[in-house]
Chain A
Amino acid sequence: KQEVTQIPAALSVPEGENLVLNCSFTDSAIYNLQWFRQDPGKGLTSLLLIQSSQREQTSGRLNASLDKSSGRSTLYIAASQPGDSATYLCAGNTGNQFYFGTGTSLTVIP
């Protein structure tokens, strides 16, 4: 069964720092990988999708990469802002099933 680990579980940084969130799958046969943001009490907002033929995606200050050989993904956030404070979740699919990590709770201190 696929297990997804996100490290660290929680992170607190001062505004302006660059940071890296990590996600790893026990089964490296991930087809697509998606990063989400979840604000307290809210739903999930899609940030980036890396499809099977891709290795990374960028959107604004966010960059996500996927190493399929190891089943590891990283989300890089540049010049963090207080508005980035949220829980970040990674999810990947093996076949038609999707598996989520438990998330990294990020706090950006002004």
Chain B
Amino acid sequence: EAQVTQNPRYLITVTGKKLTVTCSQNMNHEYMSWYRQDPGLGLRQIYYSMNVEVTDKGDVPEGYKVSRKEKRNFPLILESPSPNQTSLYFCASSLMRKTGYNEQFFGPGTRLTVL
């Protein structure tokens, strides 16, 4: 089954404790992206990657890191989480075509609480 998986689905942590949220897709998509969703603000793009070893900042990259060492995986790293990073996080992937991006597929989300 074609899918985007994220782990963990729920995480409660404390300020300053480094964490990683994993994202994996099995569709051989070039493009992968991380978003955060907050009430009243909608989804905002954190980082994206157009292929292995190619990453770039979205609108809200501060406090986050990413890496793309393999095509299927795109982990999100919070090196020193703070309470303002409490949010619902989504990973997404998309095929890239000459006509532009194909549809984005989303993972189930990771609900993060930073105390």
Question: Does A associate with B in a complex?
Answer: yes
Q: Which of A31, A96, A98, A102 contacts B104 (CB 8 A)?
A: A98
Chain B window 72-109, contacts with chain A (Cβ cutoff 8 Å), 1 for yes, 0 for no: 00000000000000000010100000011111111111
Task: Bin the interface of chain A by size.
Answer: 20 to 34
* Cβ-closest chain A residue relative to B111: A41
Contacts of B104 in A (CB 8 A): 34, 46, 91, 98
Given contacts A42-B108, A97-B45, A51 and B99 within 8 Å (CB-CB): yes
Q: Contact: A43 with B109, CB < 8 Å?
A: yes
A98 & B42 in contact (Cβ 8 Å cutoff): no
- Which residues 32-80 of B sit at the A interface, judged by CB distance below 8 A? 33, 35, 40-45, 48, 50, 56, 58-59
Interface membership of chain A positions 72-110, coded 1 if the CB is closer than 8 angstroms to chain B and 0 otherwise: 000000000000000001010100111111110000000
Contacts of A43 in B (CB 8 A): 90, 106-109
Q: How many residues of B contact A (CB 8 A)?
A: 27
Please state if A46 and B100 are interface contacts (CB–CB under 8 Å).
Answer: no
Cβ-Cβ contact count across A and B, 8 Å cutoff: 61
| Contact between B105 and A46, CB atoms less than 8 A apart | yes
Q: How far apart sit A28 and B92, CA to CA, in the bound complex (Å)?
A: 24
Query: Contacts of B100 on A, CB cut-off 8 Å?
Result: 31-32, 51-52, 93
* Residues on A facing B (Cβ under 8 Å): 1, 4, 31-32, 34, 36, 42-46, 49, 51-53, 89, 91, 93, 96-103
Given contact pairs A44-B106, A97-B45, A100-B43, a sample of 10 additional A-B residue pairs in the complex whose CB atoms are under 8 Å apart: A31-B100, A42-B109, A43-B90, A46-B105, A49-B103, A51-B102, A52-B100, A53-B99, A91-B43, A93-B101
